[in-house]
Amino acid sequence: MKDLSEKELDDFFQKSLGGKQIPFNPKAWEKMEAKLEAARKKRLLWKRLVLGLLFLLLSFSAIIYQLSVNSEQLSENSEQSSVNSEQSSENSEQSSVNSEQSSENSEQSSENSEQSSENNEQLAVNKEQKTINDNQQPTTSNQQPATNNQQPTTENKEIKDNNNGVAETSVSDGRRKFNQLLPSDQLLLNKQTKDKSAAPSDVQSQNMSDGKTDSPKTRNSEQLINNQKLTIQKVNDHTTGVQETEGGNYQKILIAIDSIHIIEKQLLVSKFDFDSLSKIKISAQIVPTDFLTGKLISPSATNFPFGRLNIGLLFSPDWSSVKFQNINQTGYKLGFEIEYQPFKRLSISSGATFSRLLYNAGGGEYTVPYGYWNATRKAPEKIWGACDALEVPINLRYALFENDRKRFFISSGISSYWMLSESYKYEYYATKPYLVDGWRGKNKNTHYLSILNFSLGYAGKLGKRTFWQVEPFVKLPLGGVGWGKIDLSSTGMFLSIRYQVIR
């Protein structure tokens, strides 16, 4: 045979090979299906890995953030504690200085009283002494505590004047001032009872005081003193109460008690006026806030308004579907959840939910076991699924906003499904009675960590320990669910009633 030219050879092969259709080979499709399944599993594995890593990253970020916030709060509290300690020591010093000044003034007062009693014998001389005392006041006015402590002496003198009935106007003026100077008088009274060898002027003061006891003004004044003591007593009681409940941070509590004692001392030795009383009341209210209800001493009252541990009953309608298509049936979820809050805004929750999942999807959405669809068992156009599953979620929850009455939060986590029962009904467009109508099974499939949860919610207080919660959610598949390995997504809205087990 003669050799073919290049062109003849090329034409021969082009014509021979062109336009030829090779008949379909079912074995080739089986290989293709196995390849598709392997690729699907690979994709799901990557999807799980990426989402899992993302979830871990978010969790760690949230925990680290929370830890850093807590450590900042701790350092702030310790700084505040040291500042308070310094203030306390300063107050103690101030108090000792005041005490010294007070004793000096008392001595001066008794001297003045002696002088005054001597002057009682001669009214003219007494008037001169009054002038001397009046002149003393501006000299000491530069030193505020000294001036305050000196005033009772002057006032005492005025009262003695009133007792002597020198001038009626002076008596009313003295009573008016007496209301403002009750603590100092109380101090003098105390000094008199302690010191039996009191000067004649002290006896006069005693008599004067006895004389004033009957007057309504004096009763009011005593009542005010008693009220003031009661206020201090309440503060002390409160302090003791906190000490009992918390049992820690003795240093802070001692500082608080010291502060209260200092306040008490200041009250007794200094000029008493209503302005300072109101300030003391305010400080008594502030003290529990600054010292006692600070985050270190009573964190449960401020950091965990919804409790450290709560348990709740949940219910939700369930709309399950493949890629959120053909949602035309409603299932439900019913279960319980336990939530533990180790940090201020971050909590972890878990529980168990019985889920009734109703859904439908095209036959192609289901990945049935290899070789299940064959000549006598054709793939249907649609499959209706009705499954009962036990869901166990593990979720992390972060409170975006939280106060004593309400909180908004976001939540994310992973769920495992235990398929308790599965029922699939096949639907064919043309009625083919010879074909099988479905598949049923019980406890055949378990899917660990195969559903990704996202939700946001709102919680509101009902009582001291109870609260309600609403939580719309989305559940996305990380792997195939059920016998048909379907990519089942779910939406719904959890309604729950919760109880704080640990506050």
Partner 1 sequence: MIHALDTDLDEVLKGCLKDHRQSQKLLYEKFYGYGMSVCIRYAKDEEDAIEILNDCFLKVFHGLKKFDLSRPFKPWFRRIIINEAINHFKKHEKRMKNELLKEAEASHAIDDILSKIAYDEVVAMIQTLTAAYRTVFNLHVIDGYKHEEIADMLGISVGTSKSNLYKAREKLQALVKEKFKIA
Residue ranges in contact with partner 1 by CB under 8 A:
1, 3-4, 6, 9-10, 12-14, 16-18, 20-25, 28-29, 31-33, 35-36, 39, 323, 362-367, 378-379
Beta carbon of residue 325, minimum distance to partner 1 (angstroms, whole number):
9
Cβ closest to partner 1, residue 1 vs residue 124: 1
CB-based contacts of 130: which residues, under 8 Å, 6+ apart?
Answer: 157, 161
What is the per-residue DSSP string for 47-101?
HHHHHHHHHHHHHHHHHHHHHHHHHHHHHHHHHHHHHHHHHHHHHHHHHHHHHHH
C-alpha distances out from residue 138 to 92, 151, 270, 320, Å: 27, 11, 18, 88
CA 112 – CA 185 distance, rounded (Å): 15
List Cβ neighbours of 211 (8 Å cut-off, separation of 6 or more): 163
Give the angle 59-61-63 at the CA atoms, nearest 5°: 70
CB of 414 to partner 1, least distance (A): 23
Nearer to partner 1, 31 or 229 (CB): 31
State the Cα–Cα distance between residues 128 and 140, nearest whole angstrom.
19
Q: Shortest gap between Cβ of 479 and partner 1 (angstroms)?
A: 15
Measured from the CB atom, the residue of 294 and 484 that comes closer to partner 1 is 484
By beta-carbon proximity to partner 1, the closer residue of 319 and 366 is 366
> Shortest distance, CB of residue 473 to partner 1, whole angstroms?
25
What token pair was written down for 373? 């669809």
Least distance to partner 1, CB of residue 404, Å: 50
Q: Cβ closer to partner 1: 173 or 427?
A: 427
Min dist. Cβ of residue 476 to partner 1 (A): 16
- The distance of closest approach from Cβ of residue 346 to partner 1 in the complex, given in angstroms and rounded to an integer, is 37
CB 252 within 8 A of CB 297: yes
Cα 36 to the center of its chain, rounded Å: 51
* Closer residue to partner 1 (CB): 5 or 142: 5
Closer residue to partner 1 in complex, CB, 15/194: 15
Q: Residue 122 corresponds to which tokens in the numbers above?
A: 């001669």
Q: How far apart are CA 314 and CA 66, in angstroms?
A: 28
